[in-house]
Amino acid sequence: MKTYLVTGGAGFIGSNYIHYLFQKYGDDVYVINLDKLTYAGNLENLDDVATKKNYRFVRGDICQADVVDPLVKEADVVVNFAAESHVDRSIGAPDAFIKTDVYGAFILLEAARRHGVEKFIQISTDEVYGSIIDGSFKETDILEPSSPYSASKAGADRLAYSYFVTYQLPVIITRCSNNFGPYQYPEKLIPLFVTNALEDKSLPIYGDGKNVRDWIYVLDHCDAVDFLIYHGKPGQVYNIGGGNERTNIEITDLILTYLKKPHTLKTFIQDRLGHDRRYSVDTAKITALGWVPEHKFERAMNSTIQWYVDNRSWWGKLKSGEYREFYKANYNKEL
């Protein structure tokens, strides 16, 4: 039985990953979830596993060596999801991004170096490559991150690599495309637009809305990460993608059509600063190992939209009070 230390396990992808682990391994896994519970961390995401004997939640910061050290010592595998993850916030206030995404990763890597682990998975992102108009990025392409968020992720990505080269720490780095699914904080495109539409509010599309993202269902990302723990080669980077490139307008239309809401809710607003036009990754490397995403885009999108319809109590709280005020004040748009 392996012990997994999952950092950022109370966030969107981390909580889906913990569900995935229990679904896959049942009682034959021990999961420690280390999460600071920032605005993006929500223990409600894990209500159904909270009392399991093979699960433990630790509230703590990955930047704090004394918190991290004993947990890494206990772990066979570390999967580092913990991060500040929203590009818009990184434009207004980059500090926390540098602290958590770079320094936090450093603290985890140092603990792993001290104690030794079977695998250290650094969850990076396709955004580290920057924007691409034609074609798709390969793992060997140069990194040209363009937001403080993606630059902080690139820093951690390369730092993790250096721990493989310098100390032979068995690090694997994943660069996944945009995820969608349940439990995503309603400030990101899909949950923001679904919940706004449900409240008959406008959907604020940046610029001309023709920016392209490659969307992957979150459980496919989780499956790829776990696959790489067993089949990936230490020191290697792996792109992960869904193969579903869509413009933001296409995503918005799909949401409005599913919810039978008027397309006049679409509102074009001032573009995001430094807004990357298109992300696209070449996934031949992970495909060659035998991994492909399972979920079909349209069906997974529909079930995701329906999840937000059915779980109003989950997002209703997040879209009220102080967060709404924060959003209005900082981004001049409704959350």
Q: Name every residue whose Cβ is closer than 8 Å to that of residue 298 and which is 6 or more positions away in sequence.
A: 254
223 is catalytic: no
Q: 31 near 16, Cβ under 8 Å?
A: no
Among 89, 119, 153, 333, binds ligand NAD (CB under 6 A): 153
- The answer to whether 127 is a known catalytic residue is yes
Nearer to ligand TYD, 29 or 87 (CB): 87
| 292: exposed, middle or buried (Cβ count in 10 Å: 0-12, 13-18, 19+) | exposed
Residue tagged active-site, from 61, 84, 88, 126: 126
Residue whose CB is less far from ligand NAD, 8 or 293: 8
Is 310 catalytic? The answer is no
Write down the least CB distance from residue 178 to ligand NAD, Å.
Answer: 4
Three-state secondary structure call for residue 169? coil
How many residues in the chain? 335
Residues in contact with ligand TYD by CB under 6 A are 87, 178, 188-189, 192, 204-206, 211, 213, 248, 272
- Closer Cβ to ligand TYD, 78 or 301, answer by number: 301
Q: Are strands 203-206 and 178-180 parallel, antiparallel or unpaired?
A: unpaired
Question: Does 37 participate in binding ligand NAD (rule CB under 6 A)?
Answer: yes
What letter would DSSP give residue 100?
I
Taking CB under 6 A as the criterion, which residues in 160-189 touch ligand NAD? Answer: 176, 178-179, 185
> Min. distance of Cβ 263 from ligand NAD in angstroms?
25
Picked from ligand NAD, ligand TYD, none, the partner binding residue 63 (CB below 5 to 8 A depending on kind) is ligand NAD
DSSP per-residue string spanning 101-124: IIIIHHHHHHHHHHH--SEEEEEE
In the bound state with ligand TYD, the residue whose beta carbon lies nearer, of 22 and 279, is 279
- Examine residue 13 and tell whether it contacts ligand NAD (CB under 6 A): yes
41 touches which of ligand TYD, ligand NAD, none (CB within 5 to 8 A by kind)? ligand NAD
Question: What's the token pair of residue 108?
Answer: 């985890």
Q: Is 41 helix (H, G, I), strand (E, B) or coil?
A: coil
Label residues 142-153 b or e (16+ Cβ within 10 Å = b): ebebbbbbbbbb
C-alpha distances out from residue 52 to 26, 30, 31, 46, 273, Å: 10, 10, 10, 11, 44
**Sheet strands (E) in 104-219:** 119-125, 171-176, 178-180, 203-206, 212-217
Binding marks (x or -) toward ligand NAD, 69..108, rule CB under 6 A?
A: ------------xxxxx--------------x---x----
104 binds, among ligand TYD, ligand NAD, none (CB under 5 to 8 A by kind): ligand NAD
Please identify every residue annotated as catalytic: 126-127, 149
List contacts with ligand NAD (CB under 6 A). 7-8, 10-14, 35-38, 40-41, 61-63, 81-85, 100, 104, 123, 125, 153, 176, 178-179, 185
